[in-house]
Structure formats: structure tokens, C-alpha cells
Chain A
Amino acid sequence: MATITYRDALNHALREEMERDPDVFLMGEEVGVYQGAYKVSRGLLEAFGERRVVDTPIAEYGFAGIGVGAAMAGLRPVIEFMTWNFALLAIDQVVNSAAKMLYMSGGQIPMPLVFRGPGGAALQLAAQHSQAFESWFANVPGLKVAAPATPYDAKGLLKAAIRDNNPVVFLEGEMLYNTKGEVPDEEYVIPLGSADIKREGTDVTLVSHSKTVAVALKAAEQLEAEHGVSAEVIDLRTIRPLDVEAITMSVRKTNRCVIVEEGWPFCGVGAQVVDDIQRDTFDYLDAPVLRVTGADVPMPYNKHLERSAKPSPDKVVQAVQRVAYLD
């Protein structure tokens, strides 16, 4: 068991899958010679050559479409977006081409394709570079959406995504790349669609994913120490398919739920989770489900305003106090 960074965990996943399957290739801006804008692809060009590690011009729409076409012809492309903010230029390829191909061809054309890159806010990158798009893509039937929080999950989920025969939107976190965690030396794959309980608890369920898992875990510690509240932290890991069972099992136990996500509140991931909870666990709820989300604004540049626009452990604690009737 080695302790490695999230970045290296992704790198290892790519390396292992490229070794395993000659049809897997990586394409994107700065993935090769530059070693990756965030160094996720470090060393891959040297290992696999220009044929399989392809630097592109800045042409998201075009190279996303080339990825789709290559997948239609049977390859297993991994298309890297330098950030998901830029992927909006290619959203037509993700939504209109990749997500629809299997269905509108009457099942003839599978789409074994991964679109990956960092999503969400980092620090002071302002409005156009600080956006979490999970709910946008998760809204689309035909796409799968994964957003791992730890190096272990990042590696296992990326390997699963690359082996999946469906288009997977894989959202990483710029602020997560340097975080460290234990990753087994032996091979493993984490199936898409399975949430993980990152901390067991009895009084309230905190539903989180990606960066907000750390926020929820910190809030859980605070709740234990300061309020004697035992919080269970669920890491969704995959937004679509959503592991509804894991969520509802937990809420049936705790009777209370707070959802923590980085994205905007309106039609966000949490809105879907709330829908599942109210339908499946109505008679188990002792309080309305609350959400802690990014502020419903374009991200401000100012450091202090930016902080106040992001979910924080304190905000989660406050929400838990409300659902547990502690305030």
C-alpha cells in the first residue's frame, strides 16, 4: 500500500489501462510534450509515444469530436479537457454526439469514451474558471458522470471509466490533485455507480462528492466534538448512475440529511438527491433535507468573497444543527 497523490493515482490509472489495452489513447491540450497542464499525464508520452499521447491544438470542439469518431470506429479514447470550463466549447459533442450515439443508432454504436479534466473552483480564478458542471452532464441520459474525492477512488474509478462502453464524464478537482491517500499496489477497479461511506454515523447523513467530501468529513468531526452529533458521510463517487440505495439506506438510519456540493443550488446534484430521498424515505424523515451548495452567483475573484461563496464545514455544521433541531 503506497501513499500517493490524487494526480499520480490518475496517472497510474491511465498508464495501467494504456498498458492493458492498446486501443486506449490520451488526447488533449498539453498532455504530451508539456507533461500535462496539471501533470496528470506526466511521463506518458515517453512511455507510449506520440501515437497514443496526442497533443492537440486549442480546439475543444474538434478534438472532442475526433474522440467520438475514434470511439465509433472502435478505439477507447481518453479526451482530456484542460478544465471543464473549456469543455463547454465541446458540450455539443458530449451531449449531442457521445450521449446519443448508442440510442439513436438502435444500439449499434457503443461509445467507449472518457472525457476527463479538473472541474470546480480552485483559488481566485474568478467566474469563468470556477464552475462545477456535474449536474449539467448528469442530466443527460447516455452519459455517466464520476467525480472522485480520494486518490484511491480516482484510480479505481478512472480505470472503470476507461473500461466502460459508455461515454463517461470524469470530473477531477484541481484542488485535489495534490491531496494524498493510500492506494493498493495490486490492481483494482471501482465500479461506476457505487457510493462509499467515508464515515459511519447515526444522527445525520451528509451526502457529498469530490471536493466536498473533505468538507463533510471536517464538519462531521466538528459535530462530534462540539455537539455530540454522529454524522455519516457518504461520498457519491459517481453522480450518474447515482447510488440511490446507499443514500436512502443511510437516511433511513439517520432520519436526517444534509447535501454538500460545490455546484450551484438550482437544479443541482443535491436537488436530484433530495428527490430520491423524499420519494424513497418520506416516512423516515424527521426534518426537511437541507443543502449546502456553492453560492448562486458567478464566482467572485476577491479572496474573501470567494471563500464565502464556497461550501465550508461551518456551513455544514449549521445546516446539521437545523435538521437535528439543535439550534
Chain B
Amino acid sequence: MAQSATLRELDADRVEFYTHLLRQMLQIRRFEEKAGEAYAQGKIGGFCHLYIGQEAVAVGALAALREDDYVFTSYREHAHALARGMSARAVMAELYGKADGCSKGMGGSMHLFDRERNFLGGHAIVGSHIPLAAGAGFAAKYRGTDQLAICFFGEAAVNIGAFHETLNMAALWKLPVVFLCENNRYGMGTALERASAVYDIAQRACAYDMASLTADGMDVLAMYDATVQAAQRARDEKLPTLIEARTYRYMGHSMADPIHGHYRTKEELEEQKERDPIANLKARMLEERLLEKEAYERMEHEVAEEIADAMEFSDRSPDPDPATLYDRVYED
């Protein structure tokens, strides 16, 4: 098992790239904060799972992929959509259930899609999308392209049959797939240690003779590096990889769930926030003079404006036409 380097030195030549990663994480953080507010105001309905704390995983991993790769995620996927380049307007409008949403208001928070970006969903049955990603990998191999598929899922999904069936077939058939487990330590309110016989999720790959990596899910560069390795293996060797990203969820399981309480303590939460991916990258860049304080403030300002615009846009966007209720059940 390879361990990705932690806190490697920053490369002054890549300042634009770092800035880009920082900005994406910041955008996601602010987006999720505002989504939480909108949920509290009743503008967003249903289940709404926020990504705050885990930003480094989606941003780092997706930065390592190509535009034509396939992306599958679970239902905690606002961040992946944004990191994939979908506009804050399209994502927020979807959360609002509006016609201008990326899924035309028919999917909601858990079902974000963007065909043009090969962003193939937000899926809300834990583990059910793992074979879907393998299917997209199968299609890439079938067609002889060097595309790959990445699948983001939580650590609670590794106890589901779909995970094992899929990892077995992906290894057996040598499919170009990156299985990225976002281990945020809790499946809803059940700690990993209370649900899994093996705590080290990367080890699960051994059962299928599959390569694996464990990465610091609070470090966007570590996530980027790990995914670059896995993507290379997928493209060059047509082999899958299991990445375990060790990360942490600041919020409750969903907006309807407690942030802490019976299943974890406030102290633990505060301690984990010390590892905050945004604060850390920002601090390092400031320290190494790769970022000016004013530039960061400007970035904060721009992001806030972008999210405010997305919310205003979503407010204005019409509800889907009731006449379309029966549309798109079947494709002609």
C-alpha cells in the first residue's frame, strides 16, 4: 500500500494551480453555508447533505481528471458538481427545485447531473452507484478510449455487497476506474469502528488484488497526488485503484441531523477543524508568499458575490412547468 506524501513543499511555479484549488474549496464552503441557510428558510426541500470539511477531497481528486472522464458520486455531491465546473447557479437552482437547475428541478440536492461534463449523477441509494461507475469504465474500455471513471462514496458504503461485487469485477476485467472512498468517519451517526471489522478501508482492496492508496483527505494536494497516481494506472494499465481519503464532516449527516451529540463530541469536532483544508492551504500559501492577504480577501469577496448571484438567480428561476410532470419518464 502506498502512502501519499503529506504536506509536501509548495512549488512556486504552480501558484496559479494552488490558487485555483483554494478558490474552488472556498467556493464550495461558502456555497454549502448558504445552502444551509436557504434550507433553513425553506427554499431547499427534502434531504440536503452538506460537504463542509471535506472540500479537499472533491477538489483535489477532480483536479487530477480530464474533462472527458466519467464522474459518479453519492448524494453528498454539491461540491463535486462545483469542482467539476458546473456553475453555482445551475447547482443552487437545482437545490431550489427550479427549472434552470442542472437537472431541471427534477432531481434536487441528491441528483445533480450534467451530461456535457460527464457528471453522471448524484445517486441516493448508498453503494448503488459503485457498479454504475464500473459500467462507465467498462464502456471506456469497450470503446478503446483512455477515459476513466471515478466513483466517490462514503466509508459506510464499503460494507455493501455492491462494493464487493464491483471491486471484484473491476479487478477481474481490469477496468479503468478510481474508487474513491471518502472516509469521514461516520455513516450518518454510526462510527466506522462500530460498523466495519476492518478500520483501514484501503486494505479492502487486497481481497481483489487491487492497488490502493490512503490519502489525507484534509489536504487538497495530497488528494490531487493520490488521484493522479490512480488515474495514471487506469489510463495506462487499465487497472482500478481504491483510494481511501481520510477526511472529516463538520456538519450533521444531513441538514435534518444533529452536528454532534450521541455519536460524537463537540471536542472531537473542534479538534478536527484544526485540520481545516482551506485554512491550511491558505496559511501555507501566505507563509510561502504565494498568496497576498488582499488577494485572498478579493477571492472571498468574489466568491460571496458569485454565491449571492446564484441564490438570486435561483429565486428568480421559474418552477418547472406543471405540464412537464409526465415528460422524460420515457425517452422517445
By a beta-carbon cutoff of 8 Å, the part of chain A in contact with chain B is: 25, 51, 54, 56-57, 59, 61-75, 77, 92-93, 96-97, 101-111, 141-142, 144, 165-166
Contacts and interface: CB of A to CB of B under 8 A. Distances in A.
Given A74-B139, A104-B103, A62 B328 contact: no
Contacts of A71: 135
A108 B135 CA distance: 18
Contacts of B139: 69-70, 73-75
B113 A109 contact: yes
A59 B168 contact: yes
B172 to A, nearest CB: 7
Contacts of A97: 123, 125, 128-129, 132
23 contacts: A25-B142, A57-B168, A64-B131, A65-B132, A65-B135, A66-B138, A69-B131, A69-B136, A72-B135, A73-B139, A73-B149, A92-B125, A96-B125, A96-B128, A104-B111, A105-B113, A105-B115, A108-B113, A109-B115, A110-B331, A111-B331, A142-B329, A165-B332
A71 to B, nearest CB: 7
Nearest to A105: B113
B106 A106 contact: yes
A243 B74 CA distance: 38
**Chain B interface residue bracket vs A:** 35 or more
A166 B169 contact: no
Nearest to A69: B135
Contacts of B101: 106
Contacts of A107: 104, 106, 327-328, 331
B121 A105 contact: yes
B138 A61 contact: no
Interface stretch (B158-166, B235-243, B295-303): B158-166
B162 A62 contact: yes
B73 to A, nearest CB: 13
B130 interface: yes
B157 interface: no
Given A108-B115, A109-B121, A141-B329, A68 B135 contact: yes
B125 A66 contact: no
A65 B162 contact: yes
B225 interface: no
Contacts of B59: none
A69 B133 contact: yes
B107 interface: yes
Given A57-B172, A108-B113, A165-B332, A72 B120 contact: yes
Given A68-B135, A74-B139, A103-B329, 15 more contacts: A62-B162, A62-B169, A63-B165, A65-B129, A65-B134, A67-B135, A70-B139, A92-B128, A97-B128, A104-B113, A105-B113, A105-B121, A107-B327, A144-B330, A165-B331
B331 A104 contact: no
Contacts of A108: 103, 113-115
Given A69-B136, A102-B331, A165-B332, A109 B120 contact: yes
Contacts of B134: 62, 65-66, 69
Contacts of B114: 108
A277 B53 CA distance: 57
| From B105, B111, B142, residue with most partner A Cβ within 10 Å | B142
A276 B309 CA distance: 50
Contacts of B173: 54
